[in-house]
């Protein structure tokens, strides 16, 4: 290896590692985001399929809602979020479900499925146990559960990213708090209230699970490689054995200097091709 090797070769190698790391992180982030889109749009699409089928066939699927404390009405624990009273009712739940669902599966990927299933089933079960004797339909209970979970998760975790998510949810859906009050007899305020309780319980239970951060780490310092001074005899073309670990600049400099000094009176040796770094 020549003494006149590019002094910034190790910096280029470090730069390549940083670029490759960023590319890997972006690819991973994209996969997680696409997965959150698939889950959320899949559920919302199911709601629209049910509503369009009901409209085309001229059916009223209200009997699939929750009828509290009745055996026949218990099926609504599973089916009531899928049934809506009209397109406007469904539309009012669609946009919050899209925003909150994507946020849940993206930021809380590790526990998103468990949280969603918990809110979905427990809200329905509690409505069946204590709500008014009427058919309760719609996915608004799930919406309130997701709002409560994401808001209180930020308050309980207290890290900057969780708090930012919490404040964003409050800014977007803080006005929904009035929906838990019994102001309109045609609205299932019980679903809203009990869904919120289910979300709070989930937030407390999973409070020690951190919000998802970017995976991996990027070096924060770049150390330039050093260059040994040129020999006094500029026409000297001596070659020396030279083996080092490219990731260890310190060992490289020490090894190089010591071998140059110790081999001034030794005939030049050609490095092995298999160990030479070009």
Look at residues 176, 205, 234 and tell me which one is the last residue of a structural domain: 205
Q: How confident is residue 159, by pLDDT bands cut at 50, 70 and 90?
A: confident
Look at residues 144, 173, 205 and tell me which one is the last residue of a structural domain: 205
| Residue 16 within a domain | no
DSSP character string of 201-231: HHHHHTTTSPPP---S------PPPP-PPPP
**How far is 130 from 121, CA to CA, in rounded Å?**
15
Q: Using alpha carbons, select from 57, 125, 50 the residue that is nearest to residue 82.
A: 50
Is 21:15 a contact under the CB 8 Å cutoff?
Answer: no
Statement to judge: residues 98 and 146 lie in one domain: yes
Q: How confident is residue 21, by pLDDT bands cut at 50, 70 and 90?
A: low
Statement to judge: residues 174 and 250 lie in one domain: no
Statement to judge: residues 101 and 193 lie in one domain: yes
**How far is 107 from 136, CA to CA, in rounded Å?**
31
Which residues, other chains included, contact 180 with Cβ-Cβ below 8 Å and sequence gap of 6+? Answer: 144, 189, 192, 193, 196
Statement to judge: residues 201 and 233 lie in one domain: no
Statement to judge: residues 150 and 93 lie in one domain: yes
What mean pLDDT, rounded, does the chain reach? Answer: 79
* Tokens read off for 56: 């085309």
Q: Using alpha carbons, select from 75, 1, 16 the residue that is nearest to residue 218.
A: 16
Domain count, the chain: 2
Using a 10 angstrom Cβ sphere, with 0-12 exposed, 13-18 middle and 19 or more buried, the burial of residue 60 is exposed
Q: Using alpha carbons, select from 224, 219, 220, 221 the residue that is nearest to residue 11.
A: 224
Statement to judge: residues 120 and 250 lie in one domain: no
Range of the domain at 144: 28-205
Q: What is the CATH number of the domain that holds 191?
A: 1.20.1540.10
**How far is 5 from 259, CA to CA, in rounded Å?**
16
pLDDT single digits (tens) 132-154: 999 999 999 999 999 999 999 98
Q: Which residue has the higher pLDDT, 278 or 58?
A: 58
Statement to judge: residues 33 and 149 lie in one domain: yes
| Residue 37 within a domain | yes
| Residue 217 within a domain | no
| Residue 21 within a domain | no
Statement to judge: residues 156 and 260 lie in one domain: no
β-strand partners of 136: 66
Statement to judge: residues 51 and 127 lie in one domain: yes
Q: Using alpha carbons, select from 156, 82, 70, 170 the residue that is nearest to residue 120.
A: 82
**How far is 277 from 190, CA to CA, in rounded Å?**
71
Statement to judge: residues 140 and 85 lie in one domain: yes
- The length of the chain, given as a count of residues: 278
Beta strands in 82-237 (DSSP E): none
Statement to judge: residues 144 and 109 lie in one domain: yes
pTM, entire model? 0.69
Q: Percentage of residues in the chain with pLDDT exceeding 90?
A: 55
Look at residues 205, 238, 254 and tell me which one is the last residue of a structural domain: 205
* Tokens read off for 273: 């091709």
pLDDT at residue 259 in the model:
44
| Residue 77 within a domain | yes
pLDDT single digits (tens) 37-68: 999 999 999 999 999 999 999 999 999 999 99
| DSSP letter assigned to residue 180 | G
Statement to judge: residues 176 and 44 lie in one domain: yes
Q: Is the pLDDT of residue 272 over 80?
A: no
| Residue 213 within a domain | no
If DSSP codes are grouped into helix, strand and coil, which group holds residue 277? coil
| Residue 18 within a domain | no
**What is the crossing angle of helices 112-130 and 140-157, to 10°?**
120
**How far is 74 from 92, CA to CA, in rounded Å?**
25
Q: Is the pLDDT of residue 205 over 80?
A: yes
Q: What average pLDDT does range 253-262 have in this prediction?
A: 43
| Residue 5 within a domain | no
């Amino acid at each position: 290896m020549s003494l006149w090797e590019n002094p910034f070769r190790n910096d280029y190698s470090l730069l390549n590692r940083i670029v490759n790391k960023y590319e890997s992180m972006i690819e991973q982030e994209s996969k997680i985001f696409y997965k959150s889109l698939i889950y959320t749009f899949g559920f919302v699409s199911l709601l629209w399929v049910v509503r369009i089928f009901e409209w085309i066939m001229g059916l009223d699927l209200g009997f699939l809602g929750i009828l509290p404390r009745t055996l026949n009405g218990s099926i609504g624990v599973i089916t009531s979020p899928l049934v809506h009273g009209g397109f406007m009712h469904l539309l009012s739940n669609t946009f919050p479900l899209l925003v909150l669902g994507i946020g849940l599966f993206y930021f809380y990927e590790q526990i998103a499925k468990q949280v969603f299933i918990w809110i979905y089933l427990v809200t329905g079960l509690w409505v069946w146990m204590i709500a008014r004797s009427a058919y309760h339909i719609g996915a608004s209970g799930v919406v309130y559960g997701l709002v409560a979970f994401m808001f209180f998760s930020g308050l309980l975790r207290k890290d900057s990213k969780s708090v930012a998510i919490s404040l964003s949810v409050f800014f977007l859906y803080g006005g929904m708090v009035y929906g838990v009050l019994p102001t309109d007899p045609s609205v299932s305020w019980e679903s809203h209230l009990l869904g919120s309780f289910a979300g709070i319980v989930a937030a407390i239970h999973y409070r020690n699970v951190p919000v998802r951060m970017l995976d991996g780490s990027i070096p924060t310092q770049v150390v330039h490689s050093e260059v040994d001074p040129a020999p006094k005899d500029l026409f000297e073309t001596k070659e020396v054995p030279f083996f080092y670990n490219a990731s260890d600049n310190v060992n490289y400099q020490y090894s190089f200097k010591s071998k140059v000094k110790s081999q001034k009176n030794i005939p030049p040796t050609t490095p092995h091709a298999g160990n030479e770094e070009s």
